[in-house]
Amino acid sequence: MSARRPAAVIVLAAGEGTRMKSRRSKVLHELCGRSMLGHVLAAARELEPQRLIVVVGHRREQVIEHLAEHAPQAEPVVQERQGGTGHAVRTVLEQVGTLSGTVVVTNGDHPLLRGETLAELVRTHEREGNAATVLTTEVPDPTGYGRILRGPDGAVTAIVEHKDADEAQRAVREINVGMYAFDGELLEAALKQVTTDNAGGEEYLTDVPAILRGQGHRIGAFTAPDWVEMQGVNDRVQLAQARRLLNERIVEAHMRAGATVVDPATTWIDVDVVTEPDVVIHPNTQLHGRTRLEEGAEVGPNATLTDTVVGAGAVVSNTVADRAEIGPEASVGPFAYLRPGTRLARKAKAGTYVEMKNAVVGEGAKVPHLTYVGDAEIGQGSNIGAGSVFVNYDGVRKHRTVVGDHVRVGSDNMLVAPVRIGDGAYTAAGSVIVSDVPPGAMAVARGRQRNIEGWVERKRPGTPAAEAARRAAGRRADESDAGGDAGA
């Protein structure tokens, strides 16, 4: 049974979050590629609410900007003064008007929350015809949380905040998670009766269930079996714990979908990453943003890929890549750095100590060793010799280099852009190529070699080099005396 679309989900995110000790709004701290608030909104969106409302207050400019960028359908409502969770919801209803039907309220600092759990809360609420339904769970250590009080028949009677609880109440391990489903109109009426007569001096949303019960309405609870999912984040220690838990959940989902993850403990995968079956992820690999690994791709160890596509059967080891496209069966690394705009076609290679930026490498083309390729195009089947540099920057502007198909660039070349090397051309090792090379030509751009015989014995007498040279000269003389072969 699927829940009906709630009238609204209201996310509370106006609090200060002092324990984060941050200039950044607490709910904007990130884990697994999304802000805390973003995770809560993703869960909320699964309910397909008619309105998605976010209460903002502290550092609201940051939160409003974040919403505009990442969740444009969310409506920010400003709570000028943080008068408590009840005050926050009251502020919303005063600004947006009466919400008829089911209204879900959730704290903004519970990044592990799953949409399915909220849906279960709403289903329970509507099935039982409750005025309010509280999401609860049992935790080993309930310190700080609001406790759930139940009557002799097991029905929820009230929520008492930790600060206001007596000894017996503090022993209760069933807590208020901070998520609720309400009847919108009853919620609005009850909020008018909430006082600040409590230890926090705030309007508590948690007073609403007892108020409604006092009026003879039905209060229910949905008790979530997995308390781990229900943990809130108040400081950076809890943020790290939540990140690890969320990562475990994500990595597990990829494994169940057919990815081999050699070491889940050192593999970090953001929420929006996609993997296809039979990919292999080696230890110490981080997959960020919208990275996608296609069937059978092998990544790591020690790879950090951001918004990068790895084609089917490609191998990427010890590599950092950002916004790169690695074609099927391509080979990258070990120790490669692919920067934005790098596109390797099928079976292309970016090898060891190779850096690329804004570079398109054709099918089967290879850049195997110690090379920088910037602002360039390399045609299919070409090979770039070890230690070459695509010299793209004249100190003021960047220029392009175009290397044709089946070109052989020699080792240690400088290709000074703008420059074109025609199809099938060769360049000699050690060349500095400053002008275009026609197709099929051999370009040699270096000084002709000159050997000055006897220079070391004349200019560096007495050095080990001079001694070695003299010994070599002696051997050569003996060999020619003997008339034998010089080689072994």
How do strand 432-433 and strand 419-421 relate by DSSP bridges? Answer: unpaired
Tokens of 377: 């195009």
Smallest separation (angstroms) from ligand UD1 to the CB of 68: 19
Rounded Cα distance, 132 and 167, in Å: 26
Using alpha carbons only, what angle is made at residue 34 by residues 313 and 40, rounded to the nearest 5 degrees? Answer: 125
Is 15 annotated as belonging to a binding site? yes
Using the minimum distance from each CB to ligand UD1, give the nearer residue, 82 or 352. Answer: 82
| Residues 202-241 contacting ligand UD1, CB under 6 A | 204-206, 232
Token reading at 324: 């790169």
Q: Which does 15 bind (CB under 5 to 8 A by kind): ligand UD1, Ca ion, none?
A: ligand UD1
CB-count exposure of residue 69 (10 Å: 0-12, 13-18, 19+): exposed
- Which residues 6+ apart lie within 8 Å of 13 measured at CB? 25, 27, 37, 54, 55, 56, 57, 63, 108, 109
- Window of 80-88, 303-311, 334-342, 366-374 that interacts with ligand UD1 by CB under 6 A: 80-88
Cβ-based nearer residue to Ca ion, 108 or 311: 108
Selected binder of ligand UD1 within 146, 209, 328, 422 (CB under 6 A): 146
Q: For ligand UD1, give the closer residue by CB, 86 or 327.
A: 86
CA gap 76, 94 in Å, rounded: 14
176 lines the binding site for ligand UD1 (CB under 6 A): yes
422 in Cβ contact with 434 (< 8 Å): no
Q: Is 84 in the site for ligand UD1 (CB under 6 A)?
A: yes
Query: Which one of the spans 102-110, 306-314, 404-412, 428-436 is the region binding ligand UD1 (CB under 6 A)?
Result: 102-110
How far, in Å, CA of 344 to CA of 2, rounded?
45
- Residue 392 assigned ligand-binding role: yes
Among ligand UD1, Ca ion, none, partner that 422 touches (CB below 5 to 8 angstroms by kind): none
Q: Is 79 annotated as a binding residue?
A: yes
Residue 411 marked ligand-binding: yes
Asked whether residue 471 is marked as a ligand-binding residue, the answer is no
Length of the chain: 488
Given 8, 36, 47, 55, the residue binding ligand UD1 (CB under 6 A): 55
399 is annotated as an active-site residue: no
Contact status: 175 vs ligand UD1 (CB under 6 A): yes
Give Cα separations from 321 to 252, 298, 308 (angstroms). 24, 14, 7
Catalytic residue among 58, 70, 369, 399: 369
In eight-state DSSP terms, residue 342 is -
Minimum distance between the CB of residue 7 and ligand UD1, rounded to whole angstroms? Answer: 19
Count of other CB atoms within 10 angstroms of residue 367:
29
Looking at 107, 291, 317, 382, which residue binds ligand UD1 (CB under 6 A)? 107
**Should residue 85 be labelled a site residue for ligand UD1 when binding is judged by CB under 6 A?**
yes
Q: CA–CA separation, 27 vs 35, rounded Å?
A: 7
Distance from C-alpha of 322 to C-alpha of 288, rounded to nearest angstrom: 9
The minimum distance between CB 234 and Ca ion, in angstroms, equals 5
Least Cβ distance, residue 232 to Ca ion (angstroms): 5
Q: Which is nearer to ligand UD1, 15 or 300 (CB)?
A: 15
Whether the Cβ atoms of residue 381 and residue 363 lie closer than 8 Å to each other: yes
- 372 contact choice in ligand UD1, Ca ion, none (CB below 5 to 8 Å, kind-dependent): none
C-beta of 105: minimal distance to ligand UD1 in Å? 9
d(CA 321, CA 4): 43
- The answer to whether 268 and 287 are in contact (CB under 8 A) is yes
List contacts with Ca ion (CB under 5 A).
Answer: 232
**In the set 33, 63, 109, 343, which binds ligand UD1 (CB under 6 A)?**
109
Residue of 131, 119, 91, 64 lying closest to 10 (CA atoms): 91
Q: How far apart are CA 356 and CA 335, in angstroms?
A: 12
Q: Can you state the angle between helices 184-191 and 85-96, rounded to 10 degrees?
A: 120
Task: Report the Cα 188 to chain-centroid distance in Å.
Answer: 39
C-beta of 2 vs 143, nearer to Ca ion: 143
Active site residues: 369
Annotated binding site: 12-15, 26, 79, 84-85, 109, 146, 161, 176, 234, 339, 357, 372, 383, 386, 392-393, 411, 429, 446
Annotated binding site for acetyl-CoA: 386, 392-393, 411, 429, 446
Annotated binding site for UDP-N-acetyl-alpha-D-glucosamine: 12-15, 26, 79, 84-85, 146, 161, 176, 234, 339, 357, 372, 383
Site residues, ligand UD1 (CB under 6 A): 12-15, 55, 57, 79, 82-85, 87-88, 107-109, 145-146, 159, 161, 175-178, 204-206, 232
